[in-house]
């Protein structure tokens, strides 16, 4: 066999891979054997990476700390003994937003004579030297405009359109400042939704009920005594709705690239906005003044790239990416994922340098810059590189946000490879329970084909660096993390998220003591990566995609989204036929694979099947499907305001048409249905025999 033995283990809660590999002249004929996975133990390196390099200083995008992490990544990936075949930096000139370091943003309460009665904190309370670092950026709303609004404070819940509509029924919102809590609406949306009602400023805070299970005291309840956010903690963030560099839409942000005028940017707050801690949110009353001094700059931001070239199909790529920049120290987001990726590359690099192993397909590693400002580094990479016909999959960030269970999301066709890998790795603290068996206890669903299985979520919306890959390019993608037991807390994410408290101390005490979850995620992610890069046949299952489409169709029928159109022809039947055709095509391709001795077939037959599997998600792209939604072309995975597990464009259009009754809205619903039917039919043809 091509792959005689692959050994997975852990070094310091990470991954060690040792492999003995025999490559024939035509390795494509010899790569069908599933790896054997054996584990060894040493627990030193990941905590060392986290503490010594990745979380030592704040490393916000383009800061001196960020440049230090760039140099560290390059040093590791260019190491003569454990580095990759090649590593380099790619520079982009991107549009970022920062607070003025000399004139901090302020939130004050004043009386009618403008005397200041109360001033909100400019920086979070220091519990250790980490928060005292001069490079800790003041909490701010990136891309919110500068300004000095003063007005009566109104509570606007989550800042959703319905919240402002309801308020406006009883209050004149003109000239007011809205205070909103995180959740329910995107960051920028809280201000965008407010402006039409005459609101002149917005405050955003994290409610302790949403993140802390109601805990509020730093005397004994919150950090530094537990994982809960302390009262002064503030979630920073990018307040924009689009992803990528905003001045160069659909173009890579190079020095000479055309840039649109700043006044033409959309999807950012039109009014001054500022995040605050819940201790200040509870103290604010009456008239509030915001003094916001944010400013925008063009700054050079770097991606760090590396590659291990494939031995048989070097023109087919598996991309493993993780963003590098953080708002402050970023021990969890993103450094937990960066440290795992560094260890994976170190061990794979050593095997390559020693001549013991080389993957069938090329593996590209990406350390993205400026993710926190709107997925900029990864998006610019997709805009400058032609990935459409050669990229197999994008394997997206690994995060360790607690130590209870694995959690994964991905394209349906990638479900099977994640599940198989999880069965071969043991859960932390157990020699008998697999990650799969533990995972199924926390997140599960009933599959018509498999029964009860762990639930692999969908990559809807643009929550991380997968956005440009799956939504714009249609590249099969996945996300793997370790998370907390959601039956024991209401926290929507780990409480130190985007605050000055996301430090090595916090991670080692409250997130993953002993870093055993880092080890487990690394071994699982490494298992998946090896399968993607080395399997003769790509480990994708198109029948799992058919099951998802059938589930979406059933939900659509349940919601009557294809039954009540005021048009003459019955148009639910074509959608049902399209889904049935997709199922038939998937079944035929599965049968072809089962009936073929692929290890002894012509390489072109294997290549053709792999291309069908690889290009499946591309078939669901439609450039005209969502003209008002930047970067979204995938008709299955775009996010939906309808909040239902069904076809997003159709569900949103139908919901709007039912609400307004306008003929134009019903026509848009019919258009969305037609787009969907043709995309599914096209995907079915992708899986069929060549004409």
* Catalytic residue chosen out of the listed positions 235, 343, 371, 547: 371
Residue length of the chain: 691
CB atoms within 10 A of CB 639: 18
| Rounded-to-integer distance, Cα 417 and Cα 423, Å | 10
| Rounded-to-integer distance, Cα 387 and Cα 640, Å | 27
Cis peptide before 334 (omega within 30 of 0): yes
The three-state (H, E, C) secondary structure of 306-331, written as one string: EEECCCCEEEEEEEEEEECCCCCCCC
Write out the H or E segment, with its range, that includes residue 287. strand 287-291
DSSP 602-667: -HHHHHHHHHHHHTTGGGGB-TTS-TTSTT--BTTTS--TT-SSS-HHHHHHHHHHHHH--HHHHH
> Phi-psi category of 195—alpha, beta or left, where left has phi over 0 and alpha has psi -120 to 50?
alpha
Give every strand in the sheet of 391-400, ordered side by side: 86-98, 295-308, 361-368, 313-323, 391-400, 477-483, 405-410, 456-457
Beta bridge partners of 621: 634
Nearest CA to 322 out of 401, 361, 375, 251 is that of 375
Give how far Cα 96 sits from Cα of 126, 183, 218, 240, 369, Å: 27, 24, 34, 11, 12
| Rounded-to-integer distance, Cα 75 and Cα 352, Å | 17
Contact present, 603 and 28 (Cβ < 8 Å) = yes
CB-based burial of residue 475 (10 Å sphere; 0-12 exposed, 13-18 middle, 19+ buried)?
buried
Contacting residues for 392 by C-beta, under 8 A, at least 6 apart: 316, 317, 318, 361, 476, 532, 538, 610, 614
In the chain, how long is the greatest CA-to-CA distance? 87
Beta bridge partners of 470: none
Task: Respond yes or no: is residue 235 known to be catalytic.
Answer: no
Contact present, 245 and 376 (Cβ < 8 Å) = yes
Write out the H or E segment, with its range, that includes residue 288. strand 287-291
Give how far Cα 281 sits from Cα of 234, 471, 499, Å: 11, 37, 16
CA angle 473, 477, 480 (to 5 degrees): 150
Q: Determine phi and psi for 7, rounding to 5 degrees.
A: -110, 125
Beta bridge partners of 306: 87, 365
Query: In the structure encoding, which two tokens stand for residue 138, read together?
Result: 């003041």
CA dihedral 83, 480, 522, 532 (to 10 degrees): -60
Contact present, 329 and 496 (Cβ < 8 Å) = no
| Rounded-to-integer distance, Cα 258 and Cα 603, Å | 44
CB-based burial of residue 116 (10 Å sphere; 0-12 exposed, 13-18 middle, 19+ buried)?
exposed
Give the number of C-alpha atoms closer than 13 A to the C-alpha of residue 70, restricted to the C-beta side.
21
| Rounded-to-integer distance, Cα 94 and Cα 99, Å | 16
Contact present, 289 and 107 (Cβ < 8 Å) = yes
Which residue numbers are catalytic? 371
């Amino acid at each position: 066999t091509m792959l005689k033995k692959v050994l997975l283990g852990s070094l310091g809660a990470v991954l060690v891979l040792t492999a003995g590999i025999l490559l024939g002249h035509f390795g494509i004929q010899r790569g069908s054997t599933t790896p054997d996975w054996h584990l060894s133990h040493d627990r030193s390196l990941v905590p060392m990476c986290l503490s010594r390099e990745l979380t030592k200083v704040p490393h916000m995008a383009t800061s001196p700390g960020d440049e230090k992490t760039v140099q560290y990544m390059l040093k590791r990936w260019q190491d003569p003994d454990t580095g990759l075949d090649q590593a380099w930096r790619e520079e982009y000139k991107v549009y970022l937003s920062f607070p003025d370091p000399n004139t901090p943003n302020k939130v004050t309460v004043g009386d009618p004579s403008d005397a200041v009665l109360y001033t909100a904190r400019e920086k979070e309370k220091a519990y250790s030297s980490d928060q005292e670092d001069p490079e800790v950026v003041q909490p701010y709303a990136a891309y919110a405009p500068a300004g000095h609004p003063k007005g009566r404070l109104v509570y606007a819940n989550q800042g959703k359109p319905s919240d402002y509509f309801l308020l406006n029924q009883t209050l004149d919102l003109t000239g007011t400042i809205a205070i909103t809590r995180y959740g329910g609406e995107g960051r920028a949306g809280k201000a965008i939704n407010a402006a039409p009602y005459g609101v002149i400023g917005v405050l955003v805070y994290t409610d302790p009920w949403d993140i802390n299970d109601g805990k509020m005291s730093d005397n004994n309840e919150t950090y530094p005594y537990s994982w809960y956010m302390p009262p002064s903690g503030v979630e920073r963030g990018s307040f924009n709705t689009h992803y990528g560099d905003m001045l160069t839409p659909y173009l890579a942000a190079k020095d000479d690239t055309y840039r649109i005028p700043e006044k033409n940017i959309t999807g950012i707050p039109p009014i001054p906005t500022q995040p605050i801690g819940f201790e200040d949110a509870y103290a604010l009353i009456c008239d509030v003044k915001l003094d916001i001094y944010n400013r925008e700059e063009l700054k050079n931001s770097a991606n760090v790239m590396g590659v291990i070239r494939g031995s048989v199909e070097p023109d087919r790529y598996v991309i493993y990416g993780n963003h590098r920049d953080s708002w402050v120290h970023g021990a969890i987001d993103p450094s937990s994922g960066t440290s795992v990726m560094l260890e994976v590359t170190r061990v794979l690099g050593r095997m390559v340098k020693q001549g013991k192993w080389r993957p069938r397909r090329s593996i590209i590693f990406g350390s993205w810059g400026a993710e926190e400002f709107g997925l900029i580094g990864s998006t610019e990479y997709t805009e400058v590189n032609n990935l459409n016909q050669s990229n197999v999959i994008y394997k997206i960030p690994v995060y360790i946000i607690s130590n209870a269970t694995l959690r994964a999301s991905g394209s349906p066709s990638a479900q099977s490879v994640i599940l198989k890998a999880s069965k071969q790795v043991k859960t932390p603290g157990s020699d008998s329970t697999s990650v799969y068996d533990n995972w199924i206890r926390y997140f599960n669903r009933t599959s018509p084909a498999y029964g009860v299985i762990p639930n692999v979520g969908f990559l809807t919306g643009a929550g991380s660096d997968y956005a440009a890959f799956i939504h714009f390019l249609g590249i099969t993608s996945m996300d793997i993390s370790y998370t907390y037991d959601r039956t024991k807390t209401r926290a929507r994410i780990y409480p130190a998220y985007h605050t000055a408290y996301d430090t090595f101390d916090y991670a080692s005490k409250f997130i993953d003591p002993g870093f055993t979850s880092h080890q487990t995620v690394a071994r699982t992610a490494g298992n998946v990566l090896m399968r993607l890069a080395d399997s003769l046949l790509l480990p994708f299952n198109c029948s799992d995609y058919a099951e998802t489409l059938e589930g979406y169709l059933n939900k659509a029928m349940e919601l009557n989204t294809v039954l009540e159109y005021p048009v003459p022809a019955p148009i639910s039947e074509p959608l049902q036929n399209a889904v049935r055709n997709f199922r038939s095509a998937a079944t035929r391709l599965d049968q072809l694979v089962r009936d073929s001795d692929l290890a002894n077939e012509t390489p072109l037959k294997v290549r053709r099947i792999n291309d069908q599997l690889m290009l499946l998600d591309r078939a669901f792209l439609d450039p005209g499907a969502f003209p008002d939604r930047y970067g979204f072309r995938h008709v299955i995975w775009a996010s939906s305001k309808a909040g239902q597990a069904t076809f997003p464009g159709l569900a949103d259009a139908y919901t709007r048409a039912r609400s307004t009754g306008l003929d134009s809205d019903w026509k848009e619903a019919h258009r969305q249905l037609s787009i969907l039917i043709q995309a599914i039919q096209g995907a079915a043809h992708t899986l069929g025999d060549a004409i």
